[in-house]
Structure 1
Amino acid sequence: MTNIKREHAISIFNAAVHAVQPSQLMQQHVQLRDDILTVCGKTFSLPAGRPVWIFGAGKAAAAMAQALEAILPHVRLQGMVITKYEHALPLQQIHVAEAGHPLPDDNGVRATAQMVAQLQSVQAVDVLLFLLSGGASALLADYPEGASLVQVQQVFELLLKSGADIHEMNVVRKHLSAVKGGQLALLADTNAWCSLILSDVVGDDLSVIGSGPTVPDPSTFSDAVAILDKYNLTTLLPAAIQNHLRQGCAGTIRETPKPGHGRLSAVNNFLIGSNAIALEAAAQKAISFGYATQVLTSTARGQATAIAAELVTAAGSWKGSRPACILMGGESTVTVTGHGLGGRNQHLALAAGLLLAAQAGITVLSAGTDGTDGPTDAAGAVADPELMLHAAAQGLDATHYLAQHDAYHFFEKAGGLIKTGPTQTNVMDIMLAIIS
C-alpha cells in the first residue's frame, strides 16, 4: 500500500504541474482575430508592416514563447527570451538564449544587453508582449557601474544561503540592477506593452516575481540595506557593492520607478499562472483517486523544517474520512549551514520523514513545480515510514544528513528522489500528505 501511496503522491504532483503548463495558460489568455490581438481581455490593433515584439525571461520563457508562436502562426514576430540552461525549446521566429540560474553568469549579461538594445528599437505603434516567470532575477543579468559580475554573484550566493525569503532577496537584487524593479519597461517607447506573468512567489506580488522588471517598485535602497543588515550580510559584501548601496541611499544614484510613475502607466501586467491553479488541479487528481481532500494553504512560507512539522501534525491529527490527502502550496526557505547537497523541498521531505516514525500510514511529498530543487537534478522527494526504516537498515543516519543539509544524497541512497527534468513552468512548490 505504501508504494501505491508514493505513486499516487507523485501523480498528484504531476497533475499540478500539468495545469500550469504555458501551452495551456497562453491559449486561455491570448487570441488573434483578423488584425485584433486580445491579451487577457485587452485588445490591440496590429499595425501593418510592423512586427509584434516578444521578449521574456524565466524558466518558462521558452515554453511561453513557443505557445505564442503556435497561437500567432501567421504573424511576424521579433524579439528574444532568456531561459535557464537546458530549458530552451525550438522556436521559429523568436530567439532564445540560455543563461545561469540561480547565479547570474556571462551569458546572462550578454543576453540582457542584447535584449536592452532590441527594446530600444521598439516604436510607439508597436505591440510588445513580455513573458515573465520565476528565475528572471538571475537570468536578467547585469551589475552596477564600478562593480563586477563576480561581485553580484557573491551577493546572490550570500542571499540564497541566508534564509532570506524571495521578497527580501528581490528587494536587494532590484537595487543592484538597471533592468529590474520596473526599469526594463522604461526602455521601449510603446503604449502597447503587456506582460504575461507566472507567479513563483507567495502572495503573487507582481513587483516581486522575477524582481518585477515591468512593475513599479515600492522598495528603496534603504530597504535593501535593512534586509542585508537583518541577515548580517552587509559587512560581507564586496566594497564596490557597499559603495553602490551607500550612493543609492544618499540619492546620488536614481531610485527604481515607484507606483504612479507616468511611463509605466501604459504597461499592462497580467497574472496568468499561480500556485493556486496548480493546487486546484492537484486536489482534483487526489479526489479521482478516492481521497478525501483538503487544501490547507497556497501561501506557505517559512523554514522548511517548520512547514514539515506543520504538515505532519495536520496529517497526524486528521479527523476527516480516510484515505485522505492534504495539500499545501508556497515556498519554504532553508538557512544553509552544512556542506551537503540538496534543496528546500528535499530538506522539507527529510525533516518530515524524521517525524513520521511516530505517524504510521502517512506519506509526505514536497517538490518544486519547475522540476529543479536547489542546485540538483531533482524536483523534490517523497518520504514515508517504510522508506525511513529502509534507510536506517542501510545505516543511513537521517538526522546527520538533515544537519549537513545533504538531503539529496540521503534520498539518492534510500530512494524517494523525484526527478521530472525541466517542466517549463514555475509556480513555487507543492507539499502534500497522504493519510491511509
Structure 2
Amino acid sequence: MKYIAAVSAASTITFSAFAADANAENEKPQGWWERESLVLEEATNRLLPDSGFTPILNWMGETWSNLSGGLKHGTTFDSLITFGFEQDIEKLSGVKNSGRIGLTAYYYAQSGNFENYLSGMSVASNIFSSNMTRVFEVYYANEFETGVGNFAFRIGQLAADEDFMGLDYADVFLNSSFGAIPVNADLGLANGRMAFSQYSLATFGATAEYAYEDFSIKLGLYNGDAGDDVASNHGFDYKLHDVAFWYALSYNYSIAGLGGTVVFGGNLHTGEFEDLRNGGTATNFYSFYLAIQQDLLCDDEGNPVLGAFCRLAYSPSSEIATYSKYIDAGLNWFAPCKSRPDDILALGVSAVNTTKNARNYAEAEGERLGKYETCVELTYRCQVTKSFSVQPDLQMYFYPESRSGDRQTSLVFGARAELNF
C-alpha cells in the first residue's frame, strides 16, 4: 500500500498542473481572482488611501505523511498564520527618504511532531516549529540612491536567513535545507540556545548593503544568542552577548542573453560552543557558502522558462560543527502550462555531511549519527489565484535514522495550501 500511496502522490503533482490548466481555459479571472491580497490590500486602499500602510495576514496549512522508512509511518497536520504590517514613514510625515518600519509575528500549531516519524538531518517543512504565538522581526529600514551607488540598511530584531543564504529559485522548495543552510546556521551555543537567528527566532541586529550596477555587498551584525525554540518563547527570550557576523558579495551577469547571479558569503560567531572532541568548550565558529543561480531558457519576452541553482557550503570548525559540508541544486520549470504563468514545477536535491568529531561524540552518547544524508524533492506550486496556491510535494531521504538501525530510504508526501489575505 505504501508504494501505491507514493504513486498516487506523484500523480497528484501532475494532475494539479493539468487540471488547473483545463479549468483556466473555461474560466476567466475577474476581480478578486487577480488580487495578490484577497481583501486586505483593497480594504486598506479604500479606508486609508495613500497612507503607506501595508497590512500582512497570511495562512499556510500543511499535511505530511511518512510513507516508508524512517522511525515509523504516520501523518501530521500543521498550520502557520503570519501577521504584521509595514509602514512607509514618508507617507505619514511628509519627510522625504524617512524610511519605513515593520513588524511580523506568527501563530503556529501542529497535530504532532513529525520528528516522531522521520528524524532526518533536513526537515520536511520550512515552517515546522514549536507550538507558539511569537513576535518575529521588528525593524526600521531605509534606502538611498546616490550617484555612486545605492545604500540600504535595516536595524531592529532581525533574522539572518531573511538577509543571507537564500536564492530566489530555491524558495519554491518546502524542505528546510533549501532555505537556511545547515552548515552555516544549524548550530547551538554551549548553553543549548540557538547561535544564529533564523525562522522562527529573531534577535537584535543590523544589516547594511551597497549596490552599484551589477555588484552588491551586504554585511550583517547580529546578537550571538537567538533564544530557544520553545512554546514559552514569545520572541524576546534572548540575552545580549557574543556577536554573529555575516557577509555576502553578489554579482549579476548575463551569458548569451541569459541572466545569472553568483554569491559568495559566510559568517563568524564569537560565542562559546561545546567542543565535540572532549566535551569542553571552544569559541569562534565560522563557515562559507557559494551560491549560483542561472537562467537556462527564456521566452521571447525575456521571462525565464527554465532556471537552475546550486549552493555549496563548508565549515572548517570541525571541533564545533555537526555538519562540515553541504550541497544542493535544483531545476525550476516556470509556467509548465502556458495558460498558467505563475505555476512552477521544480526538482531539487540536497546532501549534507557530518564531521567525524560529531559522529564520535554521538557514538559516545549512545546515539547514531550517519556520515551523510541526501534528500530529493519534487514539487509543483499551483497558483490557483494570485492570492491562493496549493503545492503537493514529494521527498525521498537517503538514509535517515530508522527504528531498526539499518537506515532505510524514507518516502515522504506532503501538501501545502497558502492564502494571502
TM-score by length of 2: 0.24
> Comparing both structures, which one devotes a greater share of its residues to helix?
1
